[in-house]
Each structure stands twice: as C-alpha cells, then as structure tokens.
Amino acid sequence: MDFYLGLAQVIGVHTLLGLSAYCVLLTGQVSLAQAAFFAVGAYVAAILTVIFKWHLFAALGVSAVVSGLTACAVGFPALRVKGLMLVVATLAFGEAVRLFFFNFTYQIQAGELKIGPHGAEGFRQIRYFPEHGWSTFDVLMFIWLMVAIVMACLWWLDQSRAGAVMRAVGEDEVAAHSSGINVTAVKVLAMTIGGVIAGIGGGIFAHYTTHIEHVQFGVILATFAIAYPILGGLSNVFGTLLAVIFIQGFLIEGLRFLGDWRNLLFGALIVLAMNLRPRGFLDAGGVASLKRMLFAGKESSGA
Amino acid sequence: MRTVSVAAAALLAGMMTSVSGGALAQERTVKITGFGAKSGVVRVFGVNSEAAMKAAAEEINKAGGVTLGDDAKAKLSVEFLDDRCNAEEGISVIRRIASSDAFVAVGPTCSNVAESLFGILQKKVGDASDSGLQFPVFADVAAKGGLAAISEWAFRNVPSELEMYKSLFAWLKREHPNLKTIYGGVEKDFAHSNATYGVMKKQAEENGFQLLGTGEWLLNDTNFSTQVREMRRANPEIVAISAHPFTTCGVLREMDRQGVKPKLLIGLTSSSSIETLQGCAKQAEGIIIPTSFAPVTAEAKTAAENVSKQGGSMDLHSAAAYEIMFILKDVIESQKIMAKPDTVQADRNKMRQGLAALKETKGLLGTVGRTNDREAIKPYLYVYAKDGSWQVLHKPSS
C-alpha cells in the first residue's frame, strides 16, 4: 500500500510541475525554464525548514514567491524573443540556475554535523515530513490538496476572461495585440504564475525526496515539464494530470518489471501516443464528447 | 455416478493438496531483492550486482540453502529492480520492495539515490516521533563516504575510500620520493567521484605533493581536450583521476592523443574494473588503483568465475553484493528469521538487529570489520593495469 501512496505522491508533484508549464504553453510559449523555477523552490523551501527551522507551510509560501519573482524577472527579457529562440533562452537560464546550485554552498554547524546545500554533493537530510511524524498518507493528502487548489485556480482562470485572453495570445499573438491586449503583460503573467506553481512543487519535491542536488533539475526534468501538458492536451488542466499518470504511473512504474526493455518502450509508447492523439490525450474534441455524454446521461435520467 | 464423481474429485483434491503441501515444504523460497542502475551510463554496475547476487544465491542453494527460524530449509532467489540512478525512482523502488514480504533490500548503485532513500528511512530505531520507513537496506555500490550515518536502518558493505587513499598516498611518498607534483581530474557532477576527489586531494597535499591544478568534466562528457590541454601545460609528474570507467577512458585517450605522459597515474576505485580495460587498456597501462577486490584467493577466483557465468563481471562493487548475500544468509540463520507473510515486520527488525550486531564478516579477501555506524572496514590492495589485466601491485599490511 505504501508503494501506491508513494507513487501517488510522485504523480502529484509532477502534476504541479506540468501545470507550471501548462500556464506558459497556454500563451503559446515553450519554456524550458520550469525545472529551474522548480529548483529555486526546492532549495529555498529546504533551506528554510532545515537551516532556519521554519514551518513547512511558511517555507512553501516563500519558495512560491521567490520562484514567481524569478520567473517574472526572467519573463521580461526572455519574452522579447519568440519560438525557438525562447526555447534556447529558457534552456540557457535553466542551465545557469542548475550550475548556480552546482556551486552553491551554504552550510551551518548543527551539533557534530554540517547542514545545508553543499555544491555538487547536494543538500541532504531534508527530513521535515518524517521528523514531524507525517505518515506517507498525510504527505499524500497534503500534496493532493495543493494539486487540487492549483488545478481549481487554473480551472477558474481558464473559464474567466483572463483565461480567454491567455488563449487568444497563444492562438494568434498579432490578432490579440491588434485587439488591444497587452501581449507582453499576459506572457509575463503566465510565466510568473508558472513560476509560483513550480516553486510550490519544487518545495514539496525537496521534502519528499529528502535530498536534492543540481543534477535533478537539468534538461530532462525541463523536458518532462513541457511534455506533460503537450502529451495531455491544452484544452484543460486535466490533460496534464492524465499525461503524468501515463508517464509516471504506467511508463515508469507500471513497466518496471520489463527491466531493460522498459526504456526502449518508454520512447516508443510516447511516440505512439502522440501519433494516436496528436492534440493530446484530452483535446477539445474529447472534452466536447465527454460533455455530450454527461449531458445525455443527465437528460435521459431527467426524462 | 454422482457419488463416484464426488469421490474422484475429493481424491484428486486430496492428492493435489498433499502434492502442493509437500512441494511447499521442499521448495520454500526466500526472495532477496536488489536494486540499482540497470540503465544509463552506469548501467554496468547494476548488471554486475545482479549477476553477483545470483551467483552467490546459487552457491548458497547448492550448499543446501538457508535455514529459517522454524528450522525449514529455503532456497534463495534474487530479483533485481532498475532505479535508473534516479533518486525519485529509487524511493519508489524501495517503497515497492517494502510493500512486499521482503525483510531486506540490497542496493542502490548510485550515492545520490542512497542519499534520498536512506533519508526516508527512520533515522533512529525506536523513535516513535519519526515516521520514516522501518526497513533495512544494505548498500553494495553507493560509495560516497558516510552514507550509512543517515539512518540506523541503512548498512553498507563498501570499502572506506578515505583509508584506501590515505594509505596509497603515504605509500607513494615512501616508494616514489622523487615525485613531487600532481594534477587532478574529477567527474564533477557525480557524487561519488566528486566526494572521492576531495579525499584524494587532501591526502595528496598531506603527503607533501604539490597540486598543480584540477580538470573538471561531467559524467556524460565525451570531449576532454580543454581539460587535458591544461594538464599538459601544468606538466605534472602524477595524474590522479577521480572518475568512472567511461570518462576515465575518455580522458586517458585524450592524454594519449595530446602526448601527456605523467610518470604515474592514479584512478578511482570504481575504475578498477573490466570496463576500463575493455575501453582503454593501452592508455590505462600502469594506472594504480586501490581496490577491495582482486581474484587473488581461491574463493575470490571461484566467485569471479561464477559471476561471469551469470553475465556479469566481478569488481569491488559486485564483490560487495556477492558478500552481502552470504552475510544475509548468516543473519537469517542467527536471528531465526521466519520469512512468512505474518512475520514481516518482526523479520525486518530481526534483520536490522542482526546486521547492527555484526562485528566482522567474511569477505572474499579476508575478514571484513564492521563499525558502529554500520559501515565496513574491508581489506584492500593496490592493483595496476598491465597487458590488459589487473595485477596486484602491493598489499598493505593493514
């Protein structure tokens, strides 16, 4: 049972990472900086709970703010470029952040031990959850509460005028601009919201893995971050969740018994999924069909 | 007719019950699960660990298996799971193993995975306020110093690299008093290589060697021309490389290409393996590495052959996995582990207590000491590459 609870934790945290990229993708931008924001959140939250003994909730709040501000700061210069140039710019930023943590050492003496981030060797003993008696189930509930809150906020955003504006920018930037929309502000806002979500996700990630190091926040994590919403579909937030379940639950954990063949199948199944559902698992057509089915069910039961 | 059918069915059922009962009594199996990297750049370590565990299990089974707490005999079987050298996957794997009837797990390969998964274990046994996982894990490969200190449920059978390099540099100072300068090279993004380079550097300086500089590269790098060019400029007498076989070979080939010929080469413990010789035997000629395994005893030679038959190769890491299986057999028997579904947590506690109580164990090169912080003090020797094989250079008296 503990294994499934642990797996659900992984799915929850990766959903937050995917949702951080979802916001940015809605505005038509492809960002490979989400892993960097995730890293900022992870290190900030871990430093606050381990070195300064803050409560986790406060630490996550600060990590969200710091990541959000970082994303906002990156957003202004980075969003002056578009398309592939933005991918390169955000990738470069992500690597810069990773290399910063690669060299970042800030340790204090705690009894016989030194605690805190130690450059390439990472940051160990981030044991807030077990030291405060949180069971695996408690951690799971907390993670999914955060996921539910973030998904609800993004759902609400999607249904609001702000969401329509973000999608308008994503669909056709020139048309949106000619309609009086401040395109730069919308893009920077999306990047900032993505940074806040990644900061929360990173903060939780640091605490459930208990050890973080620069190598965890590289290009692979950044690729996963944008792969989730692209594979899941951008029609609504649930697509990202479906994609995370598919990748983390099925491809990584479900196929573990295949041993050496798992990695081969991993790539092949993603290619197959993209071919079968080129607009994502949950595209607009799929959502419309689901709605029709649900309404038809209600109508028939009502009749 | 109906009575006959019922009687026949009853007879058949009775026969099946007795057959399966008998079979169960004879074929009781205890599964030991190993885990580590079986994909990616460090894949070979997982492959070797699995082969070593299987070879040891076969040896144990040939000798009659293991005696359980209820005096029943059981055979050992081995399952090995891939964590891809990824901390999150390592945590998932250990949770998966701990959700089964397993009472111990052997692994992981990578120190970064060990850092995370030892962190989710309960730190101090019996601390009710700590909700960490109560499950013993015995590491065979993860070599970064001091990892077992993270949790009292964590144990290691890896050599102390601090002791090995301390001894090696003192020996170098005695045997080669004319050599004064050293240049370092480190695979900076790999926890083990990076931590061990710190040890090498400190020991070199403490023994009076002058460090001329350090070249840094990453585990996945394939081009080392800049680092080697710097090395050539420094013109050191000794080059010490703290990297795994893949980049060690890359650097050695580049040194060969640029004509960098130090008087002495020193390597990382993990590179005293067949992979280094397969990758760059010519360029690695003469490299000196301290290691806790070499086929120098009859037992070690047999073990190496058995591991080879299982599709792996024996080196200091897989030798540790091989030894662990025999240690586990002894603890299962001494602690009277039952290996039944209803005694899982009790068996885990017994296994932990048994492992913590060990003062010494039997290793392939001799007696292995056990420390209070659950680490091993393994006998070691220095090997050097000669004509495509590892030869023993020196066996320290310690």
For helices A2-26 and A136-159, the axis angle rounded to 10 degrees is 20
State the smallest CA–CA distance between residue B88 and chain A in angstroms. 7
Q: Give contacts of A 109-138 with B, CB under 8 A.
A: 120-122, 124-127, 129-131, 133-136
Residue B17 has pLDDT above 60, yes or no: no
Digit-coded pLDDT (tens) for A249-279: 998 888 887 776 777 787 888 888 888 888 8
Give chain A positions within 8 Å (CB) of B92.
Answer: 3, 6-7, 10, 252-253
Q: Report the number of distinct structural domains present in chain A.
A: 1
Is residue A271, in this structure, part of any structural domain at all? no
pLDDT band at B144 (very low <50, low <70, confident <90, very high): confident
Nearest-CB residue to A256 (from B82, B87, B112):
B82
Rounding to the nearest 10 degrees, give the CA dihedral for residues B35, B85, A116, A139: -60
Contacts of A225 (CB under 8 A, 6+ apart): A17, A18, A20, A21, A32, A34, A35, A38, A198
d(CA A134, CA A212): 20
- Domain limits for position A199: 2-234
Domains B28-158+297-378 and B161-291 share a fold: yes
For an interface test with A, the pick among B39, B41, B88 (most A C-beta atoms closer than 10 Å) comes out as: B88
pLDDT for the residue numbered A288:
80
Q: Answer yes or no: do B82 and A259 touch at CB < 8 A.
A: yes
CB neighbours of residue A87 within 10 Å: 18
Nearest-CB residue to B95 (from A6, A131, A256):
A6
Nearest-CB residue to B191 (from A6, A121, A133):
A121
Digit-coded pLDDT (tens) for B120-139: 999 999 999 999 999 999 99
Nearest-CB residue to A133 (from B84, B129, B195):
B129
Query: What distance lies between CA B245 and its chain's CA centroid?
Result: 15
Q: Answer yes or no: do A4 and B87 touch at CB < 8 A.
A: no
Residue B239 has pLDDT above 70, yes or no: yes
pLDDT for the residue numbered A301:
52
Is residue A249, in this structure, part of any structural domain at all? no
d(CA B162, CA B324): 22
Give chain B positions within 8 Å (CB) of A218.
Answer: none
State the smallest CA–CA distance between residue A165 and chain B in angstroms. 37
pLDDT for the residue numbered B398:
52
Residue B11 has pLDDT above 50, yes or no: no
pLDDT for the residue numbered B21:
43
Residue B44 has pLDDT above 60, yes or no: yes
Mean pLDDT across B362-367: 92
Residue B13 has pLDDT above 60, yes or no: no
d(CA B13, CA B184): 72
d(CA A137, CA B394): 54
Q: Give contacts of A 191-220 with B, CB under 8 A.
A: 208-211, 213-216
Contacts of A117 (CB under 8 A, 6+ apart): A43, A46, A47, A101, A104, A105, A106, A107, A123
**Residue in A with minimal Cα distance to B93:** A3
Average model confidence (pLDDT) across chain B: 91
pLDDT band at B308 (very low <50, low <70, confident <90, very high): very high
pLDDT band at A300 (very low <50, low <70, confident <90, very high): low
Nearest-CB residue to B81 (from A121, A127, A256):
A256
């207590």: which residue's tokens? B353
Which of B323, B277, B273 lies closest to B297 in space, CA to CA?
A: B323
pLDDT band at B15 (very low <50, low <70, confident <90, very high): very low
The pair phi, psi for residue B105, each rounded to 5°, is -130, 150
Which of B50, B91, B309 lies closest to A209 in space, CA to CA?
A: B91
| Cβ–Cβ contact A105 with B under 8 A | no
Mean pLDDT across B168-194: 93
**Residue in B with minimal Cα distance to A124:** B115
Chain A to chain B Cβ contacts (< 8 Å): 99
Angle, CA B34 vertex, CA B219 and CA B73 arms, to 5°: 160
Give chain B positions within 8 Å (CB) of A214.
Answer: 189
User: Per-domain residue ranges for chain B?
Assistant: 28-158+297-378, 161-291
Query: What distance lies between CA B182 and its chain's CA centroid?
Result: 29
Helices (H) and strands (E) in chain B, counts: 12, 16
**Residue in B with minimal Cα distance to A215:** B189
**Residue in B with minimal Cα distance to A128:** B130
d(CA B53, CA B118): 21
**Residue in B with minimal Cα distance to A13:** B88
Mean pLDDT across A27-53: 96
Q: Say if domain B161-291 classifies as CATH 3.40.50.300.
A: no
Residue B285 has pLDDT above 80, yes or no: yes
Residue B4 has pLDDT above 90, yes or no: no
| 3-class secondary structure, B390 | strand
Give chain A positions within 8 Å (CB) of B132.
Answer: 127, 130
pLDDT for the residue numbered B158:
94
Mean pLDDT across B358-380: 94
Q: What is the CATH number of domain B28-158+297-378?
A: 3.40.50.2300
Q: Answer yes or no: do B119 and A120 touch at CB < 8 A.
A: no
Share of chain A above pLDDT 90, in %: 68
DSSP bridge partners of B66: B74
> DSSP H helical segments within B186-244, as ranges?
191-206, 225-234
Q: Answer yes or no: do B191 and A10 touch at CB < 8 A.
A: no
Q: Answer yes or no: do A6 and B92 touch at CB < 8 A.
A: yes
Q: Answer yes or no: do B92 and A253 touch at CB < 8 A.
A: yes
Digit-coded pLDDT (tens) for A183-225: 989 999 999 999 999 999 999 999 999 999 998 999 999 999 9
Residue A294 has pLDDT above 80, yes or no: no
Which of A282, A291, A286 lies closest to A232 in space, CA to CA?
A: A282
Is residue A288, in this structure, part of any structural domain at all? no
pLDDT for the residue numbered A297:
61
Tokens of A113: 């031990």
Interface of B with A (CB under 8 A): 38-39, 81-82, 84, 87-89, 91-93, 95-96, 98-99, 112, 115-116, 119-120, 122-123, 129-133, 144, 150, 188-189, 191, 194-195
Is residue A170, in this structure, part of any structural domain at all? yes
Mean pLDDT across A72-92: 86
pLDDT for the residue numbered A258:
79
Give chain A positions within 8 Å (CB) of B195.
Answer: 121
pLDDT band at B18 (very low <50, low <70, confident <90, very high): very low
